[in-house]
Structure 1
Amino acid sequence: MSGPEAPGGVGQPTAGVPVAPAAPIAPNLPGQAPPAPSAPVVLPPVKPPNLPPLADESHTTLMSPAGVEEGDGTDWAAVLAVALVAEIGLLWGAACVVLARRRAALSRAESRAEQDRTG
């Protein structure tokens, strides 16, 4: 035998040296740390995304950030109040039309019934 070669052959452990068992390959179980990523991590850009242009004094946009306009444009509470009043008015008008049609139908039915009795 010459030099560094082990008695069991190339790559074999020598007698009397304990051998560590190979690490078991287990699936990722809950509670275990995920494996380290092999690819580089992609981070979001440092520059914020482009924001939409701000509204002029005469225009209102739905994308304008809150608190940027200090009383320049239409107050959203006023717009909401007008929309609510308009919706209530339309519903009231529709209810009045339905009620008028029912009253007209009832009066026609009563007049027909009276004609049948006298007729």
Structure 2
Amino acid sequence: MPDAPEPSMPEPSMPAPSAPGPDAVVLPPLNAPSRTQAAGGESQMTLMSPAGMEEGDETDWAVVVGVALVAEIGLLWAAACIALWRRRIALGRARSGTPEDWTG
């Protein structure tokens, strides 16, 4: 029905805008215009730097988890070897000493 008249709606009465005070917080508009446009017209707004946007630069998450897992296992193995080495030294000192040294 393109020929139908549009119903007129009464405009709500709103107070005239006033200048914000010195302590007022001014919010940006909800529909802020896009500032950067790519060559194809799409927005380039992102949280990443442009240097990190290339596809070949990203590291797969499985590689990162694998490296962390291998490093953790290596550190635990080293700690266990050091603990066993210290116990072996303490046992050797206890055997070579007098019976009084065996208590502690």
If the length of structure 1 is used for normalisation, what is the TM-score?
Answer: 0.41
If the length of structure 2 is used for normalisation, what is the TM-score?
Answer: 0.46
Q: Which has the larger radius of gyration?
A: 1
Structure with greater helix share of residues: 2
Instruction: Report which structure shows greater RCO (CA 8 Å, sep ≥6).
Output: 1
